[in-house]
Structure 1
Amino acid sequence: MSKSSYGTYDPYGHEASVHTAETLPYGLGKDTYRPAYEAEAYFVTEPMPPLPRQTAAAPETVIPEAETVIMEAEAEAEAAAPEAEPPVEADGRAVRRRRARDSDRPESPMRRLLPQALVVAFLAGGTTAFVAEDKAIELSVDGRQRSLHTFADDVSELLAEEDVRVGAHDMVAPTPGTALASGDEVAVRYGRPVRLTLDGRRQEVWTTAHTVEGALDELGVRAEGAYLSTSRSQRIGRAGLALDVRTERAVTVMADGRTRTIRTNAATVREAIEEAGITLHGQDTTSVPPDSFPRDGQTVTVLRVTGSREVHEEQIPFRVQRTEDPSLFKGTEVVARPGQPGLRRTTYLLRTVNGVRQKPRLERSEVVRLPRQQVVRVGTKPRPDSVSGADHLNWQALAACESGGRPHAVDPSGTYGGLYQFDTRTWHSLGGTGRPQDASAEEQTYRAKKLYVRRGTSPWPHCGARLRG
């Protein structure tokens, strides 16, 4: 019970004398007007330490939601507290005393603790959400592994966040778009181009292996007993490499009546034959091209070849060009330019294969000399009926004596020719052209009659008497 000069207030509803209550200084003894949450048991004697990332000098950093909650809590506390003062008197003295007591009353510990508790609770909830989004990931990029923390939701976001670019030939596990959880492992392996020549067939393939041996395993190439152009431990860079692989194959070689089957990784049939202990000599060849690639299960026959060449020469006929000549008698033809046959040389290959003679094979044919065309002049001049004073003689007997009756006859010296053995000078003096042996028999007889008229039988000292026989 508290005394006051204005009267006594009984919390149980009893009234006391107005001027008999004892008045105690404010703050001494037990204050029965304070609500339960302001009791001494709630008092904190030492100040609370400041929250992380927050100081007493910056109260404005409290977020609006926390400040609203604080204000609402204060309002509820004031509403729940019992009225400690009597009604205001007319002279206003009670009002002034209440204000004086409020100014001297120490701050409630609950009022001090409530804002800090609310802020701590709010920050704790945000920190929990922050920690829940953070993920610990093991990332391996082309064999280089590292641990990292990320807020990425899936593999694609993680790769973008780490600036890891992947292409169509690269491998990502798990696949892009897969959701991430803390503790996951993500692996990226870059593709490498390999210009592979496998058993003679060239192709370009991609592999994520770092070595030649790993690439062969990944591509499913059987490397046991195979020839490799580089070592199996050779590393494959991002730029790739060229690789020649020849796998082991079974090849059967038939030669000299024997059959041999070998396993080889040779690059050509010729190499495989040499590995079988067979040597090719001279014109020897094989049933398949010697420089071709030997296939698995292939049978190759060695052909022992001996042979020679034969050369044949044959003439190429010349053409004859005939032109009319009005200075010559009809029926007379004069060779103005003699023709010359050409020459063709043909080479034939004669071969014997494994002891059997083969049909000659044309190897080469060439023209050694081109033919030259012959030019012949054909007479168009009308022939005279006779030569006066000579038509009655026996010209047939004279021709038989001089040339044996041959119009194209020529003496061994080459000076005289024709039926009547004219020399060229005499022939021309009688009006003839060219050589006498090239003229017709009729023209020769006509020129002989003219010669007889001029000189008698003197041009034919041995056979002239035949004219009269």
Structure 2
Amino acid sequence: MSKSQFETYDDVGHDASVHTAKTLPYGGRYKDTYRPAYEAEAYFVTEPAPPLPRQATPAPVLPEAGAPPEETEAPGEAEAPAESGGRAARRRRTRCAERPESPMRRLLPQALVVAFLAGGTTAFVAKDKAIELNVDGKQRTLHTFADDVGELLVEEGVRVGAHDVIAPAPGTALASGDEVAVRYGRPVRLTLDGRRHQVWTTAHTVEGALHELGVRAEGAYLSASRSQRIGRAGLALDVRTERAVTVMADGRTRTVRTNAATVREAVEEAGITLRGQDTTSVPPDSFPRDGQTVTVLRVTGTHEVHEEHIPFLVERTEDPSLFTGTEVVSQPGQFGLRRTTYLVRTVNGVRQRPRREKTELVRSPRKQVVRVGTKPRPDSVHGADHLNWRALALCESGGRPDAVDPSGTYGGLYQFDTRTWHSLGGKGRPQDASAEEQTYRAKKLYVRRGASPWPHCGARLTG
């Protein structure tokens, strides 16, 4: 602050600083300026209060250069006429300018500025708030001008998602001393008792996540340690809770508490061993449920093989070299063979229905080819038609055209051997020819050799 703001004048016209002036005794040529408190109001009323700077009387107008100086009205002089009012006003302003400025008049503007600054500072301090902010376990104290929780998080650059927890809610108004907590959500790929789930948790550890999700962990199998921390990226967690499973085997019942992953493991924990083809009433690799009853099936199995013949086809072709009614088998047929394997199981001593496992073709059937004669048969053989051929046939073969002797050498009605048959013009085997053709060949043989080919029955021809 400049010196002029703290200058004053004494009675003799010398200026002296209010901070350096000496204290003078009362009396003498100096007036006593002290006033008691009860006289203070009267003291200040003796002189009108000075106007504010904006309300001050305008400064006097100086005369132009070369103009004659204006006259000054003497004390006690009567006021000038109306036409000289401007001059009288200037004289009054001159007297006011010559009057010494009081200390109160100089300090009033400064007091107003201080009051204005004090009011702004009070409003500034009222908007500032001290807040405890906890972001995912990291706590700090900060000052903010934010009006609500959401504005505070934006101001602090805290980004939140749909699975994050904010307490209090983002729209809640803030006051100094409030606490704001943000807990980030973490994805957990949870497989609980064989069923897969995608869940979110704000817990930092596996144990906290299980508690938050309401999963009973006592006696359960956990794929991760309970104290393992869960990062923002989440983790995969396999949980198998403890269950009661009843196992029935070999006439006995056992109940075990287990967190096994499969029925097979639960059965083994019950002290039962599966051997060979043994199995259970539910798939052994299925997940055992709480309260489930599993029956062990003791299985023994054998294989049975069944063979069956496949019939062959017969193909007939006409042959003009053979007499009508004559059939010759040029290619004998052959049956095919099919082999089927069956599994026969015995479950807990009870034989089950055979189950076909496989079928294979061992041999394919071969068709039979038969030649059928179309040549007209001759009416008779001269010199042999009058003989009793029916009696000879009954003696040799019992009258059966397909008869064959025990040695397989002779066949037919008249027991021809193959060589003799072919010499007479026959085809194939004699027993395969018709009865008419066989009689015709026998007559031709008789014309050549008489009854000698039939030493025992030949006499029947004439008898």
Please say if 1:123 is aligned against 2:117: yes
Q: Structure 2 CA distance, aligned partners of 1:241 and 1:190?
A: 14
Cross-structure match for 2:282: 288
Q: Structure 2 CA distance, aligned partners of 1:381 and 1:117?
A: 157
Please say if 1:193 is aligned against 2:184: no
Question: Of residues 209, 220, 223 in structure 2, which corresponds to 1:215?
Answer: 209
Cross-structure match for 1:442: 436
Q: 1:438 to 1:144 in 2, by over 3 A?
A: farther
Please say if 1:74 is aligned against 2:68: no
Secondary structure, aligned partner of 1:123: helix
Please say if 1:273 is aligned against 2:267: yes
Q: What amino acid sits opposite 2:237 in the alignment?
A: L
Question: Of residues 148, 165, 171 in structure 1, which corresponds to 2:165?
Answer: 171
Secondary structure, aligned partner of 1:132: helix
Bigger mean CA offset, 340-349 vs 362-371: 362-371
Cross-structure match for 1:322: 316
Q: 1:431 to 1:159 in 2, by over 3 A?
A: farther
Q: 1:216 to 1:95 in 2, by over 3 A?
A: closer
Question: Of residues 264, 287, 297 in structure 1, which corresponds to 2:291?
Answer: 297
Q: Structure 1 CA distance, aligned partners of 2:128 and 2:424?
A: 134
1:273-322 deviations in Å (ceiling 9; x for gaps):
11111122222222222222111111122222233222221212223333
TM-score by length of 1: 0.73
Q: 1:135 to 1:404 in 2, by over 3 A?
A: farther
Secondary structure, aligned partner of 2:171: coil
Q: State the 1:359 CA deviation.
A: 4.0
Checking the alignment, whether the CA contact within 8 Å between 1:38 and 1:108 is kept in structure 2 is no
Q: What amino acid sits opposite 1:365 in the alignment?
A: T
Bigger mean CA offset, 297-306 vs 368-377: 368-377
Q: Structure 2 CA distance, aligned partners of 1:212 and 1:272?
A: 26
Checking the alignment, whether the CA contact within 8 Å between 1:38 and 1:109 is kept in structure 2 is no
Question: Of residues 136, 141, 144 in structure 2, which corresponds to 1:147?
Answer: 141
1:86-136 deviations in Å (ceiling 9; x for gaps):
75798x998887777666666554454333333333333333222222222
Q: State the 1:177 CA deviation.
A: 1.9
Q: What amino acid sits opposite 2:217 in the alignment?
A: A
Q: State the 1:421 CA deviation.
A: 4.9
Q: Structure 2 CA distance, aligned partners of 1:170 and 1:130?
A: 33
Q: What amino acid sits opposite 2:160 in the alignment?
A: V
Q: Structure 2 CA distance, aligned partners of 1:245 and 1:217?
A: 13
Bigger mean CA offset, 356-365 vs 285-294: 356-365
Cross-structure match for 2:347: 353
Question: Of residues 237, 242, 251 in structure 2, which corresponds to 1:248?
Answer: 242
Q: Structure 2 CA distance, aligned partners of 1:166 and 1:325?
A: 101
Q: State the 1:366 CA deviation.
A: 2.9
Question: Of residues 197, 203, 210 in structure 1, which corresponds to 2:197?
Answer: 203
Q: Structure 1 CA distance, aligned partners of 2:89 and 2:44?
A: 25
Q: Structure 1 CA distance, aligned partners of 2:278 and 2:99?
A: 127
Please say if 1:132 is aligned against 2:109: no
Q: 1:283 to 1:129 in 2, by over 3 A?
A: same
Checking the alignment, whether the CA contact within 8 Å between 1:321 and 1:373 is kept in structure 2 is yes
Q: State the 1:272 CA deviation.
A: 1.3
1:249-289 deviations in Å (ceiling 9; x for gaps):
11111222222111111111211111111122222222222
Q: State the 1:212 CA deviation.
A: 0.9
Q: What amino acid sits opposite 1:266 in the alignment?
A: A
Please say if 1:232 is aligned against 2:226: yes
1:206-246 deviations in Å (ceiling 9; x for gaps):
11111111111111111111111111111111222111111
Cross-structure match for 2:174: 180
Q: Structure 1 CA distance, aligned partners of 2:87 and 2:369?
A: 168
Q: State the 1:186 CA deviation.
A: 1.7
Q: State the 1:376 CA deviation.
A: 3.0
Q: What amino acid sits opposite 1:370 in the alignment?
A: S
Question: Of residues 386, 389, 395 in structure 2, which corresponds to 1:392?
Answer: 386
Secondary structure, aligned partner of 1:446: helix
Checking the alignment, whether the CA contact within 8 Å between 1:88 and 1:95 is kept in structure 2 is no
Gaps of 5+ in 1: 1-23, 44-71
Checking the alignment, whether the CA contact within 8 Å between 1:38 and 1:110 is kept in structure 2 is no
Checking the alignment, whether the CA contact within 8 Å between 1:74 and 1:111 is kept in structure 2 is no
Q: 1:133 to 1:75 in 2, by over 3 A?
A: closer
TM-score by length of 2: 0.74
Identity %: 82
1:341-375 deviations in Å (ceiling 9; x for gaps):
22222223333333334444434333322323333
Gaps of 5+ in 2: 1-11, 16-28, 32-41, 59-72
Q: 1:333 to 1:298 in 2, by over 3 A?
A: same
Q: 1:123 to 1:373 in 2, by over 3 A?
A: farther
- Aligned pair count reads 409
Q: Structure 2 CA distance, aligned partners of 1:25 and 1:213?
A: 92
Q: 1:452 to 1:271 in 2, by over 3 A?
A: same
Q: 1:353 to 1:118 in 2, by over 3 A?
A: same
Please say if 1:372 is aligned against 2:366: yes
Question: Of residues 304, 326, 331 in structure 2, which corresponds to 1:332?
Answer: 326
Cross-structure match for 2:64: none
Q: State the 1:401 CA deviation.
A: 5.7
Q: Structure 2 CA distance, aligned partners of 1:368 and 1:413?
A: 32
Give the RMSD, CA atoms, in angstroms: 4.0
Q: Structure 1 CA distance, aligned partners of 2:387 and 2:151?
A: 133
Cross-structure match for 1:66: none
Secondary structure, aligned partner of 1:444: helix
Bigger mean CA offset, 311-320 vs 244-253: 311-320
Q: Structure 1 CA distance, aligned partners of 2:327 and 2:233?
A: 87
Cross-structure match for 2:252: 258
Q: Structure 2 CA distance, aligned partners of 1:84 and 1:388?
A: 208
